[in-house]
Amino acid sequence: MRTLNLAIFILSVVTLFGCAPAQQATETKIAAEPAAEQTAPAPKDAIWIEKFLGKWQSTGDAFGQPAVSTMVWTLALEGRFIRLDYSIDPPNKENAKSIFSGVAYYKMGDDGSYTAFWADTSGDLHPLNASFADNTLTTIWGVEGEKLGKTRYALGADGNITVTDWIMRDGEFRQFHHNTFAPVGNAQGFDSVEPKR
């Protein structure tokens, strides 16, 4: 009888505690599996991004001297942002310092507008608000009452992008820069990163 009671006790202990590690291991395994990858929603106007992606250049004068201007549009940070790198360099750069360079990050909102920021080598850091319509990205930069400007990136039928800049002076926008950029190589194929869907 004592042997039978001991056997029942051991069986009960094994049943009660012997399954727990297996269950715990299963729960641990489930918890250890990586969560499904979070992806950004598809932009409503992703077509413009595809048209702008790549490297673009323009030659001419900038800030009163001959220069080569370059802008590179890429998808950044797993396709969640659109990045613009912009630089103005001497024609024969070699070891010469850039005349000017800046970077912007754009993020599309649910309504199709963009919030963004711009930082550059002049020390400016501007908030940006932008919208896209008719093959044109229009960006308002800066702060009203302080430094405020507007930049328009217009994609023409010829496949070039015309960039025009204005700054607010005496209550009105005054143009201070106008340049036409041509794609370098296959601009649309410059960056192979796909937008997150």
In angstroms, rounded to a whole number, what is the distance separating the alpha carbons of residues 161 and 26?
57
Q: Are residues 133 and 82 located together in one domain of the fold? A: yes
Q: Are residues 86 and 141 located together in one domain of the fold? A: yes
Residue 196, in any domain of the structure:
no
Q: Are residues 59 and 5 located together in one domain of the fold? A: no
Q: Are residues 70 and 145 located together in one domain of the fold? A: yes
Q: Are residues 123 and 185 located together in one domain of the fold? A: yes
Residue 195, in any domain of the structure:
no
SS (H, E, C) the chain: CHHHHHHHHHHHHHHHHHHHHHHHHHHHHHHHCCCCCCCCCCCCCHHHHHHHCEEEEEEEEECCEEEEEEEEEEEECCCCEEEEEEEEECCCCCCCCCCEEEEEEEEECCCCCEEEEEEECCCCEEEEEEEEECCEEEEEEECCCCCEEEEEEEECCCCCEEEEEEEEECCEEEEEEEEEEEECCCHHHCCCCCCCC
At 95 the pLDDT is: 64
C-beta neighbour count of 28 within 10 angstroms: 10
Q: Are residues 10 and 51 located together in one domain of the fold? A: no
Q: Are residues 141 and 89 located together in one domain of the fold? A: yes
Q: Are residues 14 and 108 located together in one domain of the fold? A: no
Residue 120, in any domain of the structure:
yes
Residue 38, in any domain of the structure:
no
User: What's the predicted TM-score (pTM) here?
Assistant: 0.68
Q: Which regions of the chain are under pLDDT 70?
A: 1-47, 93, 95, 186-197
Residue 141, in any domain of the structure:
yes
Residue 40, in any domain of the structure:
no
Residue 39, in any domain of the structure:
no
**Total tally of structural domains belonging to the chain:** 2
Residue 109, in any domain of the structure:
yes
At 46 the pLDDT is: 54
Question: What is the span of the domain harbouring residue 21?
Answer: 1-33
Q: What is the CATH number of the domain that holds 95?
A: 2.40.128.20
At 154 the pLDDT is: 95
CB 116 within 8 A of CB 107: yes
At 89 the pLDDT is: 87
